[in-house]
Amino acid sequence: MNDLGSGTYRLIIGTRTLAIAAFLLLIASPIALAVFRLIGVAGANPRAWIETLDGNYMSAGAIEFTFLQSIISSFATISLGLPVAWMLGRYEWRMQSMIRAVLTVPFVMPSIIAAMGILTLTGDSALGIRSNEGTWFWTLIIAHAWFNMSLVIRFCEPILATLDPSMEEQLRLLPAGRTISGRIRHLWLPVLIPPLSASFCMSFVFSFTSFALVRWITIRDNTLESVMAISSPSAGIEGYMAFTSEIVLASSLIQFAVLSISLWLASRIQRELQRQYPMAPARVARGHFDYGWVFMAPALLFSIAPIVSVAIGSVRVRTVESGRAADTWSLDGWELARDGSFSMVPLSDAMANSILYAIISLAISMPLGYCIASAIHSLERTNRRMSEALDFATMAPFAFSAAMIGLGVTLGVTKLDPTAFSQFWPLPALAHVMLTTPFAIRIMLTGLRSIDREYDEAARVLGMGPLARLTRVRIPLMKGPITVAAIFCLAMSLGEFGASFIVATNSDWATLPLLADSWRGMPMNPLAEAASNAVATALAVMAILLFAVAERARSNERGGMF
């Protein structure tokens, strides 16, 4: 039966069109409104914006610093991640899946937890290098490598673990593969360059837009992202500190260009170099490495150290009397976080806000993401050019940083209705939706593409209509990607910091990351650090629980999205 012309078919087309319109309205329009407002204040002269960015005391050196730390962070990430991915993929380990989960958990940790964890680790009670300015830069690099190492593992380990062993065996029997260097040159490099390049680009993007880590670790040096966040309170106001609008415009322009190029490069490298290497027909019998734990144990320790230090820091209170520091162990930090203070909301309020915003993000991002992913997928068969255009449009938000999205919401919405900024409580959720929807689309689109077309065709010849095929074939087959996308939306929203910092800081709508940040910013209170760590611990527990569910749902595929 041909679906064309049926009422259900028209309903599906209508829903998809509506979803695309909603996507443009929700995601493109706030950014566009914010940009127009900033240009209205600063004028339309990009050269002047960049000169102000480079010359102003608030932002001088930010461009160089952003590029330098991103490049070094990306190299450090690859240097740390590749040996770990190799060890994990090529050798047999006891509790392999547990090790993989522990090694990749940093990436799903909210950046504020990474910041709090690294601060505690480098603080006086641990490594004691916080007071030395010379160590700030390298601490940031290590922090970024910690955060992004799991990208390299996720991209490289599956192909190392599942590559058909006959590829290497055959090479060993040929003259060009008789030496280790020959096998590296002719097999491992071609196999690993695409996932390594993709993880380098992604690592560069995440380091380039890093905010929480830069805000807390380097203090004096700013990235473009932190410059935008600092400048945002006064940006976009007619006749008031117009240079901040110029700084924001210049920063977002550079970020947009660099992120677009990086993401384009990552996808091009993947497309051009990725070959379909044969997978092992059955589970590969991998070798044992007698001294493997000498490498693996430090990697595992490195992965969990910041998270554990946050938990330990939540029950340790440091007091300084007569120049001597003393640690006491108590739940006072937790109690302070639980009760809140004059300027801080209680932990339960922040948790309720975070969960509520996460649920709103989920409720909007998932159906929207599914409809748009379905539209792109079906257009791929009927109108290739249109599907590519839509695919590109849904990826465009990746080129905006969280700070720009926060500004989009703040400036864009207040332009429509100034009272909304203080009265419309779901406002932070709008920023979260803007960030989570593109991810939901990518994950579900990958899932839809992986479904064999014959499944749908077999259902058709059985007489199933579009709705029956959706509910009885597609959605059950998509259970894994849908669950992963849902968990990802929840986790992203719960841990979101950059956009929330601009939209909801100093409001009653504080989320857990904002509360952790605010407590950390009260150095005179001896319990503040413990309270901050207590909030971060609560957030880490939620992230780990979500991660555990996602790990169970994640299909056993090669690399790809989280």
Partner 1 sequence: MRCICGLEEPDRGRVYFSGEDITDVPPESRGIGLLFQKPVLYPHLSVSGNLSLASSHGHEDALEEVGLQGLGERGVSRLSGGESQRLALARALLSDPRALLLDEPFSAIDADLSARLIDDVRVILKHRGCPAVLVTHNVEEAENFCDRILFMDLSSP
Residues that bind partner 1 in the complex, under the rule CB under 8 A: 164, 166-167, 169-179, 186-187, 190-191, 273, 275-278
Q: At 221, list the tokens.
A: 């040096």
In the complex, the smallest distance separating the C-beta of residue 77 from partner 1, rounded to whole angstroms, is 24
Q: CA 367 to CA 420: how far, in whole Å?
A: 25
Q: How far is the CB of 170 from partner 1 (least distance, A)?
A: 4
Say how far apart CA 406 and CA 3 lie, in whole Å.
Answer: 42
Residue with tokens 């915003």: 357
Q: How buried is residue 148: exposed, middle or buried, by Cβ count under 10 Å (0-12/13-18/19+)?
A: buried
Burial of 317 (0-12, 13-18, 19+ CB in 10 A): buried
The residue (of 174 and 389) whose beta carbon lies closer to partner 1 is 174
Shortest Å, Cβ 558 to partner 1: 14
Question: Which CB atom, from 185 or from 552, has the smaller least distance to partner 1?
Answer: 185
**Beta carbon of residue 168, minimum distance to partner 1 (angstroms, whole number):** 9
Q: Which is nearer to partner 1, 276 or 382 (CB)?
A: 276
Closest CA to 498 of 315, 323, 251, 277: 251
Closest to partner 1 by CB, 82 or 187: 187
Tell me how crowded residue 285 is: count the other CB atoms within 10 A of its CB. Answer: 8
Nearer to partner 1, 97 or 166 (CB): 166
**Which of 475, 491, 482, 508 has its CA nearest to residue 543?**
491
Nearer to partner 1 (CB atom), residue 95 or residue 173: 173
The dihedral over CA atoms of 298, 302, 303, 308, expressed in degrees to the nearest 10, equals 120
Task: Say which amino acid occupies 333.
Answer: G
Using the minimum distance from each CB to partner 1, give the nearer residue, 168 or 456. 168
Minimum CB separation from partner 1 for residue 12, in Å? 35
CB of 93 to partner 1, least distance (A): 22
Taking the complex as a whole, the smallest distance from the CB of residue 191 to partner 1 amounts, in Å, to: 8
Cβ-based nearer residue to partner 1, 191 or 405: 191
Q: What is the nearest approach in angstroms of partner 1 to the Cβ of residue 384?
A: 21
Q: Pick between residue 172 and residue 472 the one whose CB is nearest to partner 1.
A: 172
Smallest separation, CB 277 to partner 1 (Å): 6
Could you tell me the CA-to-CA distances from 52 to 152, 173, 238, 239, 467 in Å, in that order?
37, 62, 17, 16, 56
Nearest to 232 by CA among 485, 466, 484, 421: 421
Work out how close the CB of 448 gets to partner 1 at its nearest, in angstroms, rounded to a whole number.
24
Contact 114, 214 (CB under 8 A): no
With beta carbons less than 8 A apart as the criterion, state whether 405 and 501 touch. no
Q: Distance between CA atoms of 120 and 79, rounded to whole angstroms?
A: 24
Residue 37: which H helix or E strand, with range?
Answer: helix 29-42
Q: Which is nearer to partner 1, 191 or 538 (CB)?
A: 191
DSSP 3-state percent helix, strand, coil across the chain (nearest 5): 75, 5, 20
Whole-number Å distance between alpha carbons of 263 and 269: 10
**516/505 Cα distance (integer angstroms):** 12
